[in-house]
Amino acid sequence: MRAARLQEFSARERMNDHERAVRSRPDRAAPGDDGRGGRRGTGAKQALALALVVALAFAMAIYLGVRHPYQPSPAPRAGPLRTSVVPLAPEGTVPGGVPAELFERSPAAQFRTGAEGVTLPAARRTAHFSEGQVLSALTVAKDYLVASSLAPDVLRGSTVRPVRMLLDPDQLTQFDRSFVAPAADGRHAATGWLVRFDPAEVTLAVPQVRVQGVLRVEERESGRLEVTSDHTFVYALRPAGDSAGPPRADGASLFSVRRELHFRFDRDDLRMHRAELLFSYVQAGPQACSADAADRLRPVPAGERAADRGPDGTDPYATGRAAVALCGTLAPSAMPSPRDNG
């Protein structure tokens, strides 16, 4: 009876003005119904459908974000290194002698030895870089100078890896090409990146190199630090043919290399302990102006003269902005003074 769909009016109800003797009963909740005319589980299906719609919308947003043509531009790439390598020709015969005596009679007498000559200035914070980040930039610049100017294997030309490891990856293609096909084109001189000699021609008379110079750091643009180095490196060299026996008293000579380098650092460079090398200006002598110094520096040995001469006297020990030239004359004041026989 409970399941009947029709119900008969009572006697009292039939006394009223009803045309029908029965009435329809409301539906009872059948098994699986929710009691409101709907099936249980419909809400769960709707929730599931809504979740699928949200997931599809989220996936579409990611897809459109990847495909969107107006994405922020990537960080600027490191530019190419600009190089200038200037041979300095001696005015007369290159002085020779024992390395210690040559150093004492030269402007390098008071220079420090090796990496001790590459001193760091006080690190001070800038507008967008902390004191620690400034110190990191100076340290990388020093490491580059030591690796590229003082490491014996680099000077002999047997490796470039210590220098290469300190460069921004965007410059490695240019760096590699400079050693595969060196050229004096302002971009691909191997001697713009580092100092090296031909071991078949000269060798270090003593391993110690005299060094003096300065490092300066400043923030020129937001998010970039620039470090400028200006150092003179003085090497005592002798002809490679003398390396098998004891050096002659007059067999060694001094060779001076002034290097002015400009480094740039962003935060990735500081974090990865590397640098972007912007500009390299090198003066080196005594060399002949006709010497091909793009691949290796080619010193004039003790007791010999350069086959040609350059325009004006140039002193690599002088401070201040160096003048650009294709070749220069090594000023007499930059050479060891004559031996005092008195």
Q: From 39, 66, 93, give the residue that closes a domain.
A: 66
Structural domain boundaries enclosing 308? 82-334
Indicate whether 321 and 173 sit together in one domain. Answer: yes
The verdict on residue 159 lying in a domain is: yes
Quick one: pLDDT at residue 157? 95
* 276 or 311, higher pLDDT: 276
Quick one: pLDDT at residue 39? 52
Task: Output the pTM of the full model.
Answer: 0.74
The verdict on residue 225 lying in a domain is: yes
Indicate whether 21 and 131 sit together in one domain. Answer: no
Quick one: pLDDT at residue 56? 75
In Å, how far are 218, 224, 273, 292 from 140, measured between CA atoms? 15, 14, 6, 30
Q: How far apart are CA 27 and CA 9, in angstroms?
A: 18
Indicate whether 160 and 241 sit together in one domain. Answer: yes
* pLDDT more than 70, % of the chain: 74
* DSSP code for 322: P
Quick one: pLDDT at residue 103? 97
Q: Among 170-184, 197-211, 312-326, whose mean pLDDT is lowest?
A: 312-326
Q: Is 29 helix (H, G, I), strand (E, B) or coil?
A: coil
Indicate whether 42 and 106 sit together in one domain. Answer: no
The verdict on residue 77 lying in a domain is: no
CA 253 to chain centroid: 35
**Pairing mode, if any, of strands 82-90 and 328-330?**
parallel
Cβ(177)–Cβ(188) under 8 Å? yes
Cβ(4)–Cβ(25) under 8 Å? yes
H or E element in which residue 25 lies = none
CA 174 to chain centroid: 13
Indicate whether 96 and 38 sit together in one domain. Answer: no
Cβ(91)–Cβ(330) under 8 Å? yes
Quick one: pLDDT at residue 338? 81
Number of domains making up the chain: 2
Indicate whether 15 and 126 sit together in one domain. Answer: no
Mean pLDDT for 60-69 is 54
Q: Is 132 helix (H, G, I), strand (E, B) or coil?
A: helix
Quick one: pLDDT at residue 243? 47
Q: How far apart are CA 199 and CA 56, in angstroms?
A: 68
Which three-class secondary structure string do you get for 41-108? CHHHHHHHHHHHHHHHHHHHHHHHHHHCCCCCCCCCCCCCCEEEEEEEEECCCCCCECHHHHHHCCHH
Mean pLDDT for 59-68 is 56
Indicate whether 181 and 43 sit together in one domain. Answer: no
The verdict on residue 342 lying in a domain is: no
Indicate whether 305 and 255 sit together in one domain. Answer: yes
Residues in the chain, total: 342
The 10 Å Cβ neighbour count of residue 121 is 13
Q: How far apart are CA 184 and CA 279, in angstroms?
A: 14
- The residue written with tokens 């400079």 in the block is 178
Quick one: pLDDT at residue 151? 98
**At 77, is the pLDDT very low, low, confident or very high (cuts 50, 70, 90)?**
confident
Indicate whether 59 and 86 sit together in one domain. Answer: no
Q: Give the range with max mean pLDDT: 95-99, 312-316, 336-340.
A: 95-99
* 319 or 69, higher pLDDT: 319
The verdict on residue 170 lying in a domain is: yes
Indicate whether 31 and 180 sit together in one domain. Answer: no
Structure tokens at 333: 């004041």
Which three-class secondary structure string do you get for 139-208? HHHHHHHHHHHCCHHHHCCCCCHHHHCCECHHHHHHHHHHHHCCCCCCCCCHHHHCCCECCCCEEECCCC
Give the tens place of pLDDT for each residue, 32-54. 555 555 455 566 777 777 777 77
Quick one: pLDDT at residue 47? 72
Task: Check pLDDT > 50 for residue 69.
Answer: no
Quick one: pLDDT at residue 250? 63
Task: Check pLDDT > 50 for residue 342.
Answer: no
Q: How far apart are CA 244 and CA 250, in angstroms?
A: 16
Give the tens place of pLDDT for each residue, 152-196. 999 999 999 999 999 999 999 999 999 999 999 999 999 999 999
> What mean pLDDT, rounded, does the chain reach?
83
Indicate whether 120 and 188 sit together in one domain. Answer: yes
* 250 or 325, higher pLDDT: 250
Indicate whether 88 and 48 sit together in one domain. Answer: no
The verdict on residue 140 lying in a domain is: yes
The verdict on residue 18 lying in a domain is: yes
H or E element in which residue 114 lies = none
Which three-class secondary structure string do you get for 261-305? EEEEECHHHHHHCCEEEEEEEEEEECECCCCCCCCCECECCCCCC
Buried/exposed code over 31-69 (b: 16+ C-beta within 10 A; e: otherwise): eeeeeeeeeeeeeeeeeeeeeeeeeeeeeeeeeeeeeee
Give the tens place of pLDDT for each residue, 243-277. 455 556 568 999 999 999 999 999 999 999 999 99
Listed residue (283, 336, 319) closest to 89, CA to CA = 283
The verdict on residue 340 lying in a domain is: no
Side chain identity at residue 275, one-letter code = A
Quick one: pLDDT at residue 220? 83
Quick one: pLDDT at residue 68? 44
